Chains A and B, each alone.
Chain A
Amino acid sequence: MSALAHVGGGTPGAPDDGPPQERGGRSWAPYLLLIPGTIWLLVFFVFPLLQLFTVSLQSGFPGFPGYYYRDVNFGNYLDAITEFAPHFGRSLLYAGLATFFAFVLAYPLAYAMAFKAGKWRNVMMICVIAPFFTSFILRTIAWRQILADNGPVAETLKFLHLLPGGRITETWVAVVAGLTYNFLPFMVLPIYASLERADPKVIEAGGDLYANGLTTFRKVTLPMSLPGVIAGTLLTFIPAAGDYVNAELLGSDRSTKMVGNVIESQFFRVLGGFPTAAALSFTLMAIILAMVFVYIRKFGTEELL
């Protein structure tokens, strides 16, 4: 707070300090404008990250579980990764599935909103955004009720003999469905934004040049919406991979737990689990970062870099 106040107070006075500089003052402006953002990032991103990193290397105080001392214990990483490898696998798998399903659902929806909705466009937009007015946790709890054994969905599926296990909640299907549902708007909005910006005349031109509908879509529409698709998949995959609410509320005890659940449990429930939780967080971050990097390198457009 005091740092910000200092910057705020310093700026107007700057031109009066010392003799006027020739042309040099101009180059200060962008950096002065960067200061609030930089401070924000340092205080709320870099500092916690460093703190988390030091925690991930701490060792337990012998004889005093729950207390730690400064250390450079990379063994924490090795233990965390070997012990919880299945959870990492599940996180990436479920997040990948959720991203895929969200894309399949979102693209036609965004396309319809951008080109076909007409006067219904705003209504559709509100329908996509409206769920945000309720807390994400409450909505997930609501899904528990909707998918409950005696609820309408499970009863219908049972009637149609489509539910061999007799239940939907406490299965991986429910977890992936929950992730898909919760992150769908993050997929719809960027795709819609990039499609909406596209010039319909360009698509028309595809037809004029004797391309059929599919070819026009493949060669014209899809490439134009690619930045939106990339942004949407990232906005869905990254939070989904770190999510633990869906697995906690809709999943079961062993077969569907994700990395986020382990981090929560190591941090809050296991006495002496702080370094493991921090190491897991860092590993997850590194894995996602590496995957995103490869993904953008392969498919990314210049607009993203």
Chain B
Amino acid sequence: MKPLRPPADPVARGLVRAAMSSTRDRSFSRRGLLGASLMGGAAAALSACAPPTPPAAGAVAVQLPTDVSATDKVLKWANWTAYLDYDEDTKKYPTLEAFIKKTGIQVTYSEDVDDNDSYFNKIAPQLRAKQDIDRDIFVFTDWMANRVIRDGLVQPLELIRMPHAANLLDSLKDVSFDPGRQKSLTWQSGFAGIGYDKSKVGRELKSLDDLWQDDLKGKIVVLSEFRDTLGLVMLQQGVDISKGFGKAQFEAAVAEIDKRISDGYIRRVKGNSYLEDLKSGNAIAGIVWSGDLFVLRAETENDNWQFVIPESGGTLWSDNMMIPITSRHRKSAMALMDYYYQPEVAAQVAAYVNYVCPVEGAQAEMEKIDPELAKSPFIFPSESYIKDNNVKGFRALSPQEDADYSSIWAKVVGN
């Protein structure tokens, strides 16, 4: 900082000099004292914010917070956008209203999660320091659920209190990140595959190779979720993404996408906002999520939007409800999860969100709501459908792989 230049006028200069010297000299020690005490406070506050330490290795008994569900009948649920049946007229969630009426638990539903990474990184420092995040249920995709469970940031479920949880589809009961579903319960599942506008593309797209053609150059968007985008590429390269692949196979898929970006086929690698590009015509094809294309069809009233699982196979992912380690309303949270596992409730939700329903018996209930939807393989895929189309889930990554792969992928998309 430059000191003030004294004024040219000699009288003014004298006044300024006098004023400056008096204030400076007299108050110096007071200001110093004030500054020192505040800095001391800041240093103390800083040391209180030491980075949280990693969980101890092996099974250590976790001290769960005292449950106050019996006296404090509230519940806060963080979920993704457009992921629960919603009534435009009453501005309410019908199935949730029924739950509130039945149990007297006041549920606050918020669409907090817009992206696995950003939501997790927002709450992670607090969760790891075991500070309350003011949520009792959150919903993460498999791989992030894997990370959250691995780091010991969720509470175990007491399945004995959740009779309907047994309705979970057999195929989802034993997942690699949570054997026996001790800590998580599926909310919805979905596919990643190829989505395109049939009238604009003018031909059928059946495989990824059909995408990398000159007439689609610069008109393709792919998902920034690498487990889906690279998952599809790896399937095409003959890799079984559900088990045992290594860094070499991963990097081979990265190289493929890298090349397609450099050559200008892929216009952007994007999160859920790829839907905007499909709507505005910036892109007419891409790697997309199943439910979105059905929403797009309804929104644009254009049945030309097609969703296909590539010939080489597609990915299947699930989003999982979990109870954060800091929640004091564990029992209420389990009651809510249990409620959504009643087939008739699950069918109501599925009829709205159009994603794969994880509840056994919901298909029969769907017959009563909409027989057309009950037949849809994108809501109720049969076991043979999954098998015939080579639909796989991306295997759980080890912590080191998680870090390495996310950093490799960040380079591919340019940051």
Contact = CB atoms under 8 A, between A and B. Distances in A.
Interface of A: 24, 27, 30-31, 38-39, 42, 46-47, 50-51, 54-55, 58, 61, 63-70, 87, 141, 144-145, 148-151, 166-167, 169-170, 252-255, 257, 261-262, 264-273, 302, 305
Interface in B256-289: 261-262, 266-269, 276, 280-282
B407 interface: yes
Report which residue of A55, A64, A170 has the largest number of chain B beta carbons within 10 angstroms of its beta carbon: A64
B76 to A, nearest CB: 23
B124 A66 contact: yes
B16 to A, nearest CB: 14
Contacts of B415: 87, 257, 261-262, 264-266
19 contacts: A39-B38, A47-B42, A47-B45, A50-B46, A55-B51, A64-B54, A65-B399, A65-B402, A66-B151, A66-B403, A144-B282, A151-B280, A170-B282, A252-B414, A267-B121, A268-B115, A268-B121, A269-B406, A305-B1
Contacts of A68: 51
B35 to A, nearest CB: 9
Given A70-B50, A268-B117, A254 B261 contact: yes
B48 to A, nearest CB: 11
B299 to A, nearest CB: 15
A65 B400 contact: yes
Contact of B282 (A54, A169, A267): A169
B298 interface: no
Given A42-B38, A151-B280, A257-B414, A70 B26 contact: no
A67 B147 CA distance: 12
A163 B330 CA distance: 59
Interface of B: 1-2, 5, 22-23, 26-27, 30-31, 34, 38, 42, 45-46, 49-54, 115, 117-118, 121, 124, 128, 147, 151, 218, 261-262, 266-269, 276, 280-282, 399-400, 402-403, 406-407, 410, 412-415
B267 A144 contact: no
A58 B27 contact: no
Given A65-B399, A151-B280, A253 B414 contact: yes
Given A61-B54, A257-B414, A264-B415, 19 more contacts: A31-B30, A42-B42, A47-B46, A50-B46, A55-B51, A61-B53, A66-B124, A67-B52, A87-B415, A148-B281, A170-B267, A170-B268, A254-B262, A266-B415, A268-B118, A269-B410, A271-B402, A271-B403, A272-B403
Given A66-B151, A270-B406, A148 B282 contact: yes
B346 to A, nearest CB: 32
Interface of B is mostly: helix
Contacts of A169: 282
Contacts of A51: 46, 49
A167 to B, nearest CB: 7
Given A27-B27, A169-B282, A255-B414, A273 B407 contact: yes
Contacts of A261: 414-415
A151 B281 CA distance: 9
A67 B281 contact: no
A47 B46 CA distance: 8
Contacts of B118: 268-269
Contacts of B54: 61, 63-64, 67
Contact of B406 (A24, A64, A271): A271
Contacts of B281: 148-150
Given A61-B54, A64-B54, A167-B218, A148 B27 contact: no
Nearest to A55: B51
A70 B51 contact: yes
Contact of B280 (A42, A87, A144, A271): A144
A254 B269 CA distance: 10
B249 to A, nearest CB: 20
